[in-house]
């Protein structure tokens, strides 16, 4: 683990705070008139999924978690388990829906993803930068919406 100053926190970083792993969602550097600056953060606990707001002092140091990323291919899902295969060792593993969160909606069989590990335990995954998805349904066109030539919202 490496220490970073609180003012260097950025969205997407994974930090260790109070013995737990958190993903930083948003940061805001605040410097009120006659007081010292602080870093207001919104973070998600990777174990419980709880979202918290926390204020770090500007001069405070935070432990940044070092994550290992390994390429896996998504195979299939069975109930609450999603099965993946390591593209180099062909070893298979599964992650639960709770571990994956919102990313389950974007998993397509045979997609290569990067599984993030902390101390040899999987904590989540990173989807590819671009994916080709198909729009399955859209709302019908709005009646009397003549301000533009757009016929559908999608």
Q: pLDDT by residue (tens digit) across 110-127?
A: 999 999 898 888 888 888
Q: Which domains does the chain have, with CATH numbers?
A: 2-64 (2.30.30.30), 68-126 (2.40.50.140)
* Distance from C-alpha of 61 to C-alpha of 7, rounded to nearest angstrom: 9
Q: pLDDT by residue (tens digit) across 15-28?
A: 999 989 998 989 99
* Nearest residue to 113 via CA among 100, 23, 64, 66: 100
């Amino acid at each position: 683990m490496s220490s970073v100053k609180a003012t260097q926190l950025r969205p997407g970083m994974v930090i260790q705070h109070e013995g737990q792993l958190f993903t930083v969602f948003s940061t805001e550097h605040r410097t009120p008139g006659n007081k010292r600056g602080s870093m207001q953060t919104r973070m998600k606990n990777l174990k419980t999924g709880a979202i918290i707001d926390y204020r770090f002092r500007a001069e405070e140091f935070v432990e940044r978690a070092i994550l290992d990323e390994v390429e896996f291919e998504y195979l299939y899902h069975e109930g609450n388990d999603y099965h993946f295969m390591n593209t180099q060792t062909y070893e298979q593993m599964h992650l639960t829906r709770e571990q994956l969160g919102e990313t389950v909606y974007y998993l397509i069989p045979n997609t290569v993803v990067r599984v993030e590990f902390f101390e040899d335990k999987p904590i989540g995954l990173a989807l590819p930068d671009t994916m080709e998805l198909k729009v399955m349904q859209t709302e019908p066109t709005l009646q009397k919406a003549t301000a533009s030539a757009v016929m559908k919202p999608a």
